[in-house]
Amino acid sequence: MEVQIFGIKKNADTRKALRFFAERRVKTHFVDFAERAASLGELKRFVQRVGVSGLIDRESKRYQELGLAHSHYNDDRWLEKLSEEPLLLKMPLARSANHVTVGLAEAEWRSWLAK
């Protein structure tokens, strides 16, 4: 099993995800959004499962700084915004085979390992 994790190393939940898989000796591929922004194609894989609103971290500092609380964008515009501003994403984004999660989801990750 191999897991791809998207996030920022400074994010506590991203570090927890990396540690979760490392403790279980699962091979991970980490994509740091601080070095490389998310592509639209990568984000669309997550959108298919959780929807655009499921990716947006409305509690994030960056969301508040940009004043997006009163913004009414369509899904395509939100995707563009999320690819330009990765700090707006709930982190970590994790993917393995046909499974995806957004945010800290240890229970679901355990189910991945049980298969």
Q: Residue 11's closest CA among 105, 103, 108, 106?
A: 103
Query: Token pair of 55, please?
Result: 């990716």
On whether the CB atoms of residues 57 and 65 are closer than 8 A, the answer is no
CATH number for the domain that contains residue 35: 3.40.30.10
pLDDT above 70: percentage of residues in the chain: 100
How many separate domains does the chain show?
1
> Which whole number is the average pLDDT over 25-31?
96
Range of the structural domain that residue 25 is part of? 2-114
H helix runs in the chain, sequence order: 12-23, 40-50, 61-65, 75-84, 106-114
- Residue 83: per-residue pLDDT: 92
- Residue 115: per-residue pLDDT: 74
On whether the CB atoms of residues 3 and 90 are closer than 8 A, the answer is no
- Residue 47: per-residue pLDDT: 94
- Residue 37: per-residue pLDDT: 85
Question: What does the alpha-carbon distance between residue 52 and residue 113 come to, in Å, rounded to a whole number?
Answer: 27
Q: Residue 87's closest CA among 19, 51, 37, 12?
A: 37
Q: How many CB atoms lie within 10 A of CB 30?
A: 15
**What is the tens place of the pLDDT at every residue in 86-96?**
999 999 999 99
pLDDT greater than 80 at residue 10: yes
**What is the tens place of the pLDDT at every residue in 57-81?**
999 999 999 999 888 899 999 999 9
> Which whole number is the average pLDDT over 24-29?
96
